[in-house]
Chains A and B, each alone.
Chain A
Amino acid sequence: MVFGAANPVSIKLDQVSLVHPNGYRAINQVSCEIGNGERVAIIGPSGAGKTTLLRLLATALRPSGGTIRILGDDPWGIGRAALRELRCRVGMVHQSPPIPPRQRVVTAVLAGRLGRWPLWKALVSLVYPVDIAGAARMLARMEIADKLFERCDRLSGGQMQRVGVARILYQQPDLLLTDEPVAAVDPALSDRILGELNREAIERGVTLVASLHAVDLALHWFPRIIGIRGGEIAFDLPPVRVTDAMLRDLYASEAAVPTQSNELLAPQPAGVRRKPMCS
């Protein structure tokens, strides 16, 4: 199902599979298309292949079968320079931010644009940060502007996660990927982070794909939900058409459908509990 079919396609997977060297089939013949500017949540039980799928989209993994096109390019068919160029346009928020503990927040955020900077600028920035104002702006959106010159190992888990998001906002990618961006933060902060990511995607008209563990967050924030299980797409629907039965089926191996605060998803006329849209 393609939304906004008039837009050029941002992601196109055709029969994509990924088999790990030990023979484990993490992704099995997945085909899907995501248009430019779409905002998609990927949900599914742990081990379903959410992270693997996102890493395929981030060109961090190479599919063992099928074809993949990211922002109009085949990442594994183009040259090395073109691939690096493409990677600059793809931003990934990791589940635990890959930031050295000894690095200062300002450096960690500025590192988002390393791919676009010439080497001399990157080296100069180590001596004196070249765009303090830019880093501060992104941190302000995450409400941690006061941590600008703090060292990352002095931050809490939630603050660290926000630094990771600020880095990707600073990168200004055309494809925003986030792997469980709110897995380790409290509910209020989850909404803040997802809100900013969505706002970024809408304002700049870029694509946002997020894997989420909490189903209620996915249903609330994203107009398109892809449920995956066992490395295959179980459903690909707008949230109003995702039923309780589908969710129970998707999470059959887990005790309950996971939500942000471990509350049960109460059945409602639309089939799912939804958070109020204006908050």
Chain B
Amino acid sequence: MRGEASTIQLRDPAAVPRLILSIGIIVLLWPGFRLTEFDPGVLFDPRNREIMGKFIGTFLPPATSAEFLRLIMKATLETLAIATAGMTLALLIASPLALIVTRSLSISRIGPGRGFAAGRILRLPARFVLMFFRSIPEIVWALLFVRAVGLGPAAGVLAIGVTYGGMLGKVYSEILESGDTRPALALLEAGGGRLTAFFYGMWPVALPELVSYTVYRWECAVRASVIMGFVGAGGLGQQMELSMRMLSGGEVSTILFTFFLLVVLADAISAFLRKVTA
């Protein structure tokens, strides 16, 4: 036994890289906190606490007049419409790009065979398009589109579609890569095409993940559409901006509560869809 043990290395070869990685992460985090002047003590400074308290104090009681609620209702529907239409556009942008970017769906990768280098090079522009779309914040896209299509929800829809298209495309391809890729590979090895390998080999594997991420992004899109309301893209955001400008804390808190309900709704939808697709 002794002789055998001495020929086999008994030390975990992964230990040193793991340690270096851990130290590296800590070293990188420290300047981050320094640069952002992060100091939780400031929150508890008595003067700051008083100002914050006053502002939050005006939130109560929430505004509940029938007229205001009707207004909120309409704005909520508009927000939902912006988020949903924006997500649909994002899906249309993301799905083809994700399929192009996903390495596991590459036929030439087996072997590697003919066209492997070309495929790798062709995948780059698709990745850059995705990166470009998501590197510009949706609020900036919104400001841009407001100039192009004028004030109103259309600018919000376009902004969400482009930014979220970039995010969805990236994450979709990562979800597809991280699942079990053997079924798709087996189909490619049996002469199947890229799309058929996706639909028969990856779709059933990744469906719940894809659905739950998409619903989460829809939830984010609801929030994003609110922020874009501030720059004139309609919906709850615009209402919020009006209420803030009128220093009406009650209305703000009603709107915030509406946000909360929307998140609850998104969560319920996500849970339901996960159950259906499980």
| Interface residues in chain A, defined as those with a beta carbon under 8 Å from any beta carbon in chain B | 58-62, 76, 79-80, 83-92, 94, 98-103, 107, 111-112, 114-117, 119, 122-123, 126, 171
Contacts and interface: CB of A to CB of B under 8 A. Distances in A.
A187 to B, nearest CB: 27
Contacts, number: 91
Interface string B173-189: 00000001011011101
B175 to A, nearest CB: 14
A100 B114 contact: no
B114 A83 contact: yes
B213 to A, nearest CB: 17
Contacts of A89: 191
A80 B114 contact: yes
Contacts of A119: 193, 195-196
20 contacts: A59-B110, A60-B110, A79-B114, A80-B113, A80-B114, A84-B191, A85-B191, A87-B190, A90-B191, A92-B189, A92-B190, A100-B180, A111-B187, A112-B190, A115-B191, A115-B193, A119-B193, A122-B195, A126-B200, A171-B190
Interface in B100-121: 107-108, 110-115
B201 interface: yes
A84 B186 contact: no
Nearest to A122: B196
Contacts of B193: 84, 114-115, 119
Given A114-B196, A119-B193, A119-B196, A98 B182 contact: yes
B63 interface: no
Contact of B200 (A85, A92, A111): A111
B207 interface: yes
Contacts of A84: 107, 191, 193
A79 B115 CA distance: 9
Contacts of A126: 199-200
B114 A99 contact: no
A117 to B, nearest CB: 8
A54 B130 CA distance: 39
Contacts of A99: 183
Given A62-B113, A83-B113, A102-B205, A114 B183 contact: no
A98 B190 CA distance: 12
B204 interface: yes
A107 B205 CA distance: 14
A171 B191 CA distance: 11
Interface in B62-113: 107-108, 110-113
B189 A60 contact: yes
A102 B204 contact: yes
A160 B212 CA distance: 28
Given A62-B113, A102-B204, A114-B200, A92 B191 contact: no
A102 B207 contact: yes
Contacts of A80: 107-108, 113-115
Interface in B177-234: 180, 182-183, 185-187, 189-193, 195-197, 199-202, 204-205, 207
Contact of A98 (B107, B111, B183, B191): B183
Nearest to B184: A98
Nearest to B200: A111
Nearest to B110: A60
Most chain B beta carbons < 10 A, residue from A84, A112, A117: A84
Contacts of B186: 92, 94, 98
Given A80-B107, A85-B191, 7 more contacts: A79-B114, A80-B113, A84-B193, A112-B190, A114-B187, A114-B192, A115-B193
B210 to A, nearest CB: 12
Contacts of B197: 114
Contacts of B107: 80, 84
Contact of A100 (B190, B195, B196, B205): B205
A203 B83 CA distance: 59
A111 B110 CA distance: 19
A115 B204 contact: no
Given A60-B110, A83-B113, A100-B180, A88 B196 contact: no
A107 B204 CA distance: 11
B189 A58 contact: yes
A133 B198 CA distance: 25
Nearest to B181: A98
B205 A88 contact: no
B110 A115 contact: no
A76 B190 contact: no
B254 to A, nearest CB: 43
A179 B115 CA distance: 28
